[in-house]
Amino acid sequence: MKKLVFISLFIIAVISCKKTEWSPEGPTDVRVKNLQPSETFYNVIIRTAGGRDTTGNIKKLGNIAPGDTSIFQRVTFAYPKAEITATINGQLFSTGEFQSTYMQYISRFRITYEVYISNMTNRVLTINNVSYEEPLVLK
């Protein structure tokens, strides 16, 4: 009798367990803010996953005026660093490639990468800050 009760409880426990649909990687909505006071960023492209070069992580953000912010674009997953390229005064500027192997990914959030020109001679962009705007609610 004890075995029957134990087996019944075990079966009920297994049946009542359900798998939650949770993907910690994302998606993530990203945008770029131009911190430069007088330079417009043209043809801005963002790649949010170093080493994971999938099309869901490369987005074109268009042109960003001085002090302005691009629209949000949804990527599969994002990290605190990103590769951002932009054309400024006819020359290509970039933050450079990054390796995301040991980075903690940003989960379901809307984030803003704040970018400025750190070295005009070498055409280097730098991410000043990553602002977490709000949690991303998927329906």
**Is the pLDDT assigned to residue 90 strictly greater than 90?**
yes
**Confidence at residue 53, expressed as pLDDT on a 0 to 100 scale:** 53
Q: What is the pLDDT of residue 54?
A: 62
**For residues 44 and 69, what is the distance between their CA atoms, to the nearest angstrom?**
11
Sign for the pseudo-dihedral over CA of 62, 118, 95, 29: negative
pLDDT of residue 55: 62
Hey, where are the domains in the chain?
25-135
Largest Cα separation within the chain, whole Å, is 83
Asked if 87 and 58 count as a contact pair (C-beta separation under 8 A), the reply is no
Adjacent-strand bridge partners of 30 = 73, 111
Compute the distance between CA of residue 58 and CA of residue 44 in angstroms, rounded to an integer.
11
**pLDDT per residue over 18-29, tens digit each?**
554 555 567 899
The predicted pLDDT at position 113 comes to 96
Provide the mean pLDDT of the chain: 85
In contact, 76 and 136? CB cutoff 8 Å: no
Burial 106-120 (b: 16+ CB within 10 A, else e): bbbbbbbbebbbeee
pLDDT of residue 51: 64
What DSSP element (H or E) covers 6?
helix 2-16
Q: Tell me which CATH homologous superfamily contains domain 25-135.
A: Domain of unknown function DUF5300 (2.60.40.2890)
Q: What is the mean pLDDT of residues 112-117?
A: 96
**61: pLDDT strictly greater than 60:** yes
pLDDT band (50, 70, 90) for residue 125? very high
Q: How confident is the model at residue 129 (pLDDT cuts 50, 70, 90)?
A: very high
- Top pLDDT among 15 and 108 is at 108
